């Protein structure tokens, strides 16, 4: 293809072994020229670590480096070449690579997504200059759904960034002036006798349940900024029970841990939405703690799935952005559930 920039991807498809079994793909050779030693250094990693990750993900493919040229041969050379080309584009945009980012880039290419576009999509820039970005194709779909819908319901396992990205989108909407306040709410599953034994007033009693939402705010905004937003009422963090009887206008509302709502609570919450508001509901249906297992999130899609302006987004272990062991744990539980194993 023409070289319109510093990266040229040249593909030569060679049927090296025409007598191979029809079940095998023909051998391919892909050559990628990279402009600049600084890009090559970032692309390779220590002892070619990053290229070895790509090679491991395409086991019938070999990668070789000579100068500023990467040659890829094998049955999946074209797809592996797309990964390398995307990594170069990411480096050109100023991003740095690590092993986890390279692995996610492979996942995105396999899902017919472009990592250079996904990872360059900045949701929010924090006061410290840190950029909040999607890190998987699923997270990108989740953010796009929040941007275009009145209500987005994100369902997925721990570590997929459901709450984190929802808070980032809320702060973005607040900065853009499209909403006047952010409301963060969670059900307090212990809201009964045991809650009464805790010291302090009601807000102090439920504070442990709301702490993860505070943590997300503090990660994206400095401590003094968060306190000012809360004191002015621009950000409100409250248990779900406090939503009853209210009409929420011009607000960005996040209901977290929605699997622990009852069906009645879920209906109550969704009918609080007023004009100019946007809602994100997050939950993990594998971690239902509500008494009797009557979750307001389970079975919700057949009821609401056809409503315009409301969209369900399902995230999976591929979207887990915590330590790689978390993804392995999620996969193990899903396998056990599918095979009828107990949790």
For residue range 123-171, what is the model confidence (pLDDT) as tens digits? 887 766 677 888 888 898 999 999 999 999 999 998 899 999 999 999 9
Q: What is the DSSP letter of 257?
A: S
Is 4 buried (19+), middle (13-18) or exposed (0-12) by CB count in 10 A? exposed
35 and 156 co-located in one domain: no
What CATH number corresponds to the domain at position 233?
3.40.50.300
Indicate whether 331 and 249 sit together in one domain.
yes
Residue 197 shares a structural domain with residue 146? yes
Give the CATH number for residue 96.
3.30.1370.10
Judge whether 139 and 165 are in contact, CB under 8 Å.
yes
Amino acid 222: pLDDT: 80
- Same domain, yes or no, for 254 and 142? yes
Domain end marker among 118, 142, 176: 118
pLDDT for the residue 218: 85
pLDDT for 115 equals 87
68 with 160, same domain? no
Residue 1 lies in a domain: no
pLDDT score of 308: 96
Point out the domain boundary residue: 118, 140, 166.
118
For residue 212, what pLDDT is reported? 80
SS3 336: helix
What pLDDT is recorded for position 171?
93
Binning pLDDT at 50, 70 and 90, where does residue 237 land?
confident
Could you say which of 118, 145, 166 is where a domain stops?
118
Q: Is the pLDDT of residue 240 over 70?
A: yes
Q: Which helix (H) or strand (E) holds 72?
A: strand 69-74
Most confident of 147-156, 217-226, 280-289: 147-156
- How many other CB atoms are found less than 10 A from the CB of residue 267? 13
What is d(CA 146, CA 124) in angstroms, rounded to the nearest whole number? 14
Q: Are both 22 and 137 inside the same structural domain?
A: no
Q: 26 lies in which domain range? A: 7-118
**Is 2 part of any domain?**
no
Any domain includes 343: no
Task: Specify the pLDDT at position 215.
Answer: 85
Same domain membership, residue 240 and residue 128: yes
Residues 192 and 56 both lie in one domain: no
Long-range contact list for 120-127, CB < 8 A, 24+ apart? 120/90, 120/93, 120/95, 123/165, 123/168, 123/169, 123/172, 124/168, 124/169, 124/171, 124/172, 124/175, 124/220, 126/219, 126/220, 126/221, 127/221, 127/222, 127/225
C-alpha 56/C-alpha 78 separation (Å) is 15
Please state the pTM of the whole predicted model.
Answer: 0.74
Q: What is the pLDDT of residue 328?
A: 74
How many domains, the chain?
Answer: 2
Sign of CA dihedral 302, 304, 307, 309: negative
Q: pLDDT of 51-87, one tens digit each?
A: 899 999 998 889 999 888 999 999 889 999 999 999 9
Task: Kindly report which listed range (101-115, 278-292, 313-327) carries the lowest average pLDDT score.
Answer: 313-327
Q: How far is CA 183 from CA 44, 240, 250, in A?
A: 45, 10, 10
Of residues 63 and 323, more confidently modeled? 63
Q: What is the pLDDT of residue 341?
A: 53
Look at residue 204 in the predicted model and tell me its pLDDT: 61
Percentage of the chain exceeding pLDDT 90: 38
């Amino acid at each position: 293809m023409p070289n319109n920039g510093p990266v040229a991807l040249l593909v030569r498809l060679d049927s090296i072994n025409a007598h191979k079994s029809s079940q095998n793909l023909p051998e391919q050779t892909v050559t990628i020229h990279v402009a600049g030693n600084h890009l090559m250094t970032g692309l390779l990693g220590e002892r070619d670590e990053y290229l070895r990750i790509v090679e491991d993900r395409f086991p019938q493919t070999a990668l070789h480096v000579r100068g500023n040229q990467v040659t890829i041969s094998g049955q999946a050379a074209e797809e592996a070449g797309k990964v390398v080309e995307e990594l170069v584009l990411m480096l050109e945009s100023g991003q740095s690579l690590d092993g986890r980012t390279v692995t996610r880039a492979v996942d995105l290419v396999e899902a017919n997504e472009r990592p250079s576009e996904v990872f360059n999509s900045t949701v929010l820039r924090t006061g410290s200059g840190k950029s909040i970005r999607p890190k998987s194709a699923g997270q990108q779909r989740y953010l796009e759904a929040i941007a275009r819908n009145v209500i987005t319901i994100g369902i997925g396992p721990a570590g997929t960034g459901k709450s984190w990205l929802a808070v980032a989108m809320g702060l973005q909407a607040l900065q853009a002036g499209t909403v006047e306040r952010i409301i963060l709410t969670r059900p307090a599953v212990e809201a009964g006798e045991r809650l009464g034994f805790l010291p302090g007033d009601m807000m102090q009693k439920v504070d442990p349940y709301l702490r993860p939402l505070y943590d997300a705010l503090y990660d994206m905004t400095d401590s003094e900024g968060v306190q000012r937003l809360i004191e002015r009422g621009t950000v409100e963090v409250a248990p779900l029970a406090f939503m009853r009887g209210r009409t929420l206008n011009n607000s960005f509302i996040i209901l977290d841990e929605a699997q622990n709502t009852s069906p009645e609570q879920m209906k109550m919450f969704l009918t609080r939405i007023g004009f100019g508001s946007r809602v994100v509901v997050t939950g993990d249906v594998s971690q239902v703690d509500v008494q009797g297992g009557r979750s307001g999130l389970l079975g919700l899609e057949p009821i609401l799935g056809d409503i315009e302006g409301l969209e369900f987004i399902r995230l999976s272990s591929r979207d887990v952005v915590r330590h790689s062991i978390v993804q392995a744990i999620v996969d193990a539980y899903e396998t056990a559930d599918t095979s009828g194993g107990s949790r």
